[in-house]
């Protein structure tokens, strides 16, 4: 069988979405044409992954620079070549990949469509943390704890209106959010198969739908490729250090971890002697300032992002791999996100440390492979790190569970589901 895959991000572009797509398709038994682009490098680390090619995948690179032109070209290409393909598959984010697939499905309703979601397109808990809400709004308040005088106060009402005009969401942002919600809802209803990467994402996105919708959704784990890691003697090269690789910002930040390291530095500095801590990639200014203000720069090194294969080498050579998730407890009581780099961490077969919510994708995955899960609490993390650095924790990888994230295993499950979809009339 042959599939027409729609993915805005794809190698040689170094992006999480493109790498996830490549690793899955590479081990599939089917053939693929991937309609993509390499002109726009936003939300990526550039066109650095030129080694990522596979005999069963033929990338089709559009030269269009806007989503609109890219969608138009993709629809025209498929219309002219539809007889070559048994099914289509769209990979998002961005939402425009699903939008192109929707247009193809509208024009050719008999084509089978697989819609693969990396993260939710709409109503994202992560984005909700970033939202500014007026301090004069009544949203979230109850009649019992708010006086009628305040509720009907002209002063409050005027301040709320002025605040929203100055700081609230613009009409443009509201339009973008409404479009994302429409594309997500329509995709879920129209697609023949829905791919999600963990059961918490499925719960978050599909709980509002009936059993018919839920029955066409499958879980396909993010995966690692064993062949991508250097063929070296691991025991000889592994260094005593904690490494984080990836993007951090003001929501998904390192503050809890940094506070814990500072606690150890102040109370038991000798414990950190000979131990290295490295961050590769973007870090928010507040975290950088914390490192400087607490004179942790001799212990903690912040380095620029590296290419994908270099990142895998670093993972393999580091004793501990650090995962940091956003604390979303004020929005939702579980974490629906499965960071793609966690799969690559698993493939390095070193020790994984995660600061994450107690319930959710990361905690479940890290525990199942034998990793260490810590809460968003600096004192709890301090106690755990003291034991980790002092080698007082017996870390044992569950290799059977780790193998379930290998791309050859994941692709076999994916192929079975595709075959089943194609046999259903």
Residues in CB range of 337: below 8 A, 6 or more apart: 119, 126, 201, 325, 326, 360, 361, 362
Residues in CB range of 184: below 8 A, 6 or more apart: 95, 98, 120, 121, 122, 205
CA distances from 169 to 97, 133, 134, 156 (A): 25, 9, 11, 19
Counting residues of the chain whose pLDDT is more than 90, the rounded percentage is 75
pLDDT category of residue 45 using cuts at 50, 70 and 90:
low
pLDDT in tens, 295-313: 999 999 999 999 999 999 9
Residues in CB range of 271: below 8 A, 6 or more apart: 264, 386, 389, 390
pLDDT category of residue 12 using cuts at 50, 70 and 90:
confident
pLDDT in tens, 125-175: 877 766 656 667 776 565 555 676 777 787 777 777 776 666 566 667 778
Q: Which CATH fold would you assign to the domain 2-124+174-223+406-423? A: Rossmann fold (3.40.50)
The reported pLDDT for the residue numbered 421 is 96
CA 398 to chain CA centroid, Å, is: 23
Spatial strand order in the sheet of 276-280: 300-303, 276-280, 239-245, 318-324, 351-355, 372-374
The radius of gyration computed from the CA coordinates of the chain, to the nearest angstrom, equals 23
The reported pLDDT for the residue numbered 156 is 79
For residue 400, count other CB atoms closer than 10 A to its CB.
Answer: 9
The reported pLDDT for the residue numbered 138 is 73
Angle 73-79-81 from CA coordinates, rounded to 5°: 100
Q: Which CATH number fits domain 227-402: 3.40.50.300, 3.90.650.10, 3.30.420.40, 3.40.50.2000?
A: 3.40.50.2000
Q: What is the pTM of this model?
A: 0.89
Domain boundaries, the chain: 2-124+174-223+406-423, 132-168, 227-402
Strands 351-355 and 318-324, by their bridges, are parallel
pLDDT category of residue 369 using cuts at 50, 70 and 90:
very high
**Strongest mean pLDDT among 119-123, 129-133, 333-337:** 333-337
The reported pLDDT for the residue numbered 154 is 77
pLDDT in tens, 185-217: 999 999 999 999 999 999 999 999 999 999 999
Task: Round to whole Å and give the CA distance between 56 and 58.
Answer: 7
Is 2 strand, coil or helix?
Answer: strand
The reported pLDDT for the residue numbered 85 is 98
The reported pLDDT for the residue numbered 317 is 94
Task: Round to whole Å and give the CA distance between 113 and 104.
Answer: 9
The reported pLDDT for the residue numbered 320 is 96
Q: Hunting for tokens 């050719």 — which residue is that?
A: 108
Task: Round to whole Å and give the CA distance between 136 and 140.
Answer: 11
Q: Is the pLDDT of residue 4 over 70?
A: yes
The reported pLDDT for the residue numbered 51 is 87
Region of 370 on the Ramachandran plot (φ > 0 left; ψ -120 to 50 alpha; else beta): left
């Amino acid at each position: 069988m042959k599939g027409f895959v729609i993915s805005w991000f794809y190698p040689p572009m170094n992006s999480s979405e493109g790498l996830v797509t490549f690793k899955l398709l590479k081990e599939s038994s089917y053939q693929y044409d991937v309609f993509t682009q390499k002109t726009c490098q936003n939300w990526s680390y550039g066109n650095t992954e030129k080694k990522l090619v596979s005999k069963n995948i033929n990338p089709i690179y559009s030269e269009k620079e806007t989503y609109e032109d890219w969608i138009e070209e993709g629809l025209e290409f498929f219309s002219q070549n539809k007889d070559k393909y048994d099914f289509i598959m769209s990979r998002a984010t961005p939402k425009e990949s699903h939008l192109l697939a929707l247009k193809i499905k509208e024009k050719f309703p008999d084509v089978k469509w697989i819609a693969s979601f990396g993260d939710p397109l709409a109503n994202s808990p992560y984005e909700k943390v970033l939202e500014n809400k007026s301090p004069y709004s009544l949203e979230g308040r109850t009649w019992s704890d708010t006086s009628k005088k305040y509720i009907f106060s002209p002063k409050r009402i005027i301040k709320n209106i002025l605040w929203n005009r100055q700081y609230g969401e613009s009409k443009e942002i509201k339009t973008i959010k409404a479009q994302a919600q429409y594309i997500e809802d329509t995709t879920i209803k129209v697609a023949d198969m829905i791919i999600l990467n963990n059961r918490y994402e499925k719960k978050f996105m599909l709980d509002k739908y009936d059993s018919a919708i839920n029955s066409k959704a499958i879980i396909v784990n993010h995966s690692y490729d064993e062949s991508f890691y250097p063929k070296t003697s691991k025991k000889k090269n592994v260094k005593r250090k904690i490494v984080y690789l990836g993007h951090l910002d003001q929501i998904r930040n390192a503050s809890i971890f940094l506070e814990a390291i500072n606690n150890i530095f102040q109370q038991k500095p000798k414990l950190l002697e000979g131990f290295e801590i490295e961050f590769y990639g973007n870090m928010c200014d507040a975290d950088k300032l914390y490192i400087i203000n607490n004179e942790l720069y001799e212990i903690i090194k912040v380095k620029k992002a590296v290419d994908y294969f270099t990142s895998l080498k670093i993972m393999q050579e580091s004793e501990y791999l650090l995962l940091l998730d956003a604390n979303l407890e004020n929005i939702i009581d579980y974490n629906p996100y499965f960071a793609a780099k966690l799969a690559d961490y698993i493939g390095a077969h070193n020790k994984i440390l995660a600061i994450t919510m107690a319930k959710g994708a990361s905690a479940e995955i890290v525990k199942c492979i034998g990793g260490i899960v810590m809460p968003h609490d600096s004192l709890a993390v301090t106690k755990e790190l003291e034991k980790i650095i002092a080698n007082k924790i017996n870390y044992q990888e569950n290799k059977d569970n780790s193998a379930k994230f290998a791309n050859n295993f994941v692709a076999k499950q994916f192929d079975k589901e595709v075959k089943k979809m194609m046999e259903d009339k």
